[in-house]
Chain A
Amino acid sequence: MKLSRVLLAIAVLACMVALLRLGIEGWGPLFAWLWTEGGYDEAGALSVLRSAGWFGVVLALLVPFRPLGLLGLALAAWCGAWCAATIWQREPFAALAPAMQATRLAAPLSLGMLCATPRRPGERRVRAAAVLLVGASAATFAAHGVEAFAMHGEFLDFLFLFARELEVSLAEPTARRMLLGIGALDVAVALGALLALRWPRARIALAWMGAWGLATAALRPLAYGSEFYADFLVRLPNACAPLAALALLRARDLQRAEPPVTHASSP
């Protein structure tokens, strides 16, 4: 369970640092919302985002050390505000934002649940955290699968850049077929992750999610340059959430395998 908490703490802190960076620069949908609909001028919107961003970072640092589940809820609300602004912005696939950003919402919530009061694996709150993380990871992967089926231009561009790095020629029809395959794999892995709650062999799906989530998050700074580090950090929950779920499920197994504690009884 300690490993889960560490993974989630990393994910939440990374996400908060990314949102702070986006807020300070005035990038992203929440700035656009504050500026367009919120009645703020540029300086006011930036000030709100900067203050809230720093607050988020401080809370993220506090969560692992303070047994307050509410801190996790507050961080999830902050991520939820970004998610709502993404829907408001109505860019392509915006309607999928709650699913695409599910790991970002679930990571602070489950961290809060795990840190609220130290509990042994198997207890109701821990089990709920595992279910939440698995569900969120599945939602995020399924949504990205749908994006891939819809031939998201940015995804295609990653394939073209990858092919260029390998110095192989990649025609667009081939890239589209590859993206269909990747989308199908994402959806299959999402289903596999849900099965992992009942069937231990399906946990390989969670391990795959961790590796794929890390690779795809790292693609942004690798492809576009180090200034895209926030794009990497904000996607780190896509890797950490399934791995944290995996660690929680493993911990539950170990607890079940432990011999029951027997108490000496008087004759």
Chain B
Amino acid sequence: MPLARPTRFGKPPPIRKRLPADTRRKLPRPPVNLRVREYAPCRLSDHYHTTLSDNLMYMNYSHTLQSDLPPKPPREIRLRWDPSNPYAKYRKNDPVGGTQWSKIPPEPSTPANITRLEAVQIHIMSKDALTSRSNLLGVIAALRALSGETEAGGGALAKGVKGVEIVLGKKQVGGWIRAGMPAGAKVTLKGSAMYDLIATLTEFVLPRLREFHGIPMPAAVSSHTSYLPASSNAVKASDVAGVVSFGLPAPAMGFWPQIEVNQDAYPKMYGMHIHFITNAVGVGAQERARALVSGFQIPFVRKSS
């Protein structure tokens, strides 16, 4: 049985009733909500299911005894606002204490919460766009070529994917950015498109970067090298969010084969940020996310302190 031969399709049923037309696009509206799902087997997705998921389960497994479940609630270290207290009743309900987000333990290991990749996001910020919006056109064209996505994706985007989006400034920062101004563009990829992008990155882009030893990780924190006192809370929000991010310099854009074929068609080369969004949360989430991402042959190096 030849592998590549597609299934033959019969003739579609005749359309007996005229389809209602979309007033805006002037096109017939299909009677069902069409969504394109996976349309080919995916090599890296298979690699995840046959090899990586097992290894990640073994590497990240933390043993919880059945007698310890459900875990004990944390000790309340500060007073909570109590409406039954007549002193507090008509006073302002101020939040008391922090949420301790940096100390939330990871969920107990189960087959359902093995670290997995949910999405990959590419984000390009262009400072030129602040002076003239038309400078964003090069960014949008580059992202379209890199990801194969457009704003509406031919009307058939996968669930949770929005195509190439414009990023607006959130805050007013003097001399740098203003709120509501278009400052860049981003694209979120899921499913096989996300795995295709990772394959292109590791096979075409990273091997051709000059002086690239790996994605730098922060230096290991130890009592000898850290300038912070041992009691200080050195945990950052990114450490517990399970997102791995890194940047590529502007010259690296020419190494993507999608851009390389007609590099002259773009006004200039842009640097970009790539975010790998995983389902890991809690203490040590970033380590677990890095273990997953390195399974797709993306190297990491520890900065020497």
| Chains A and B belong together in one complex | no
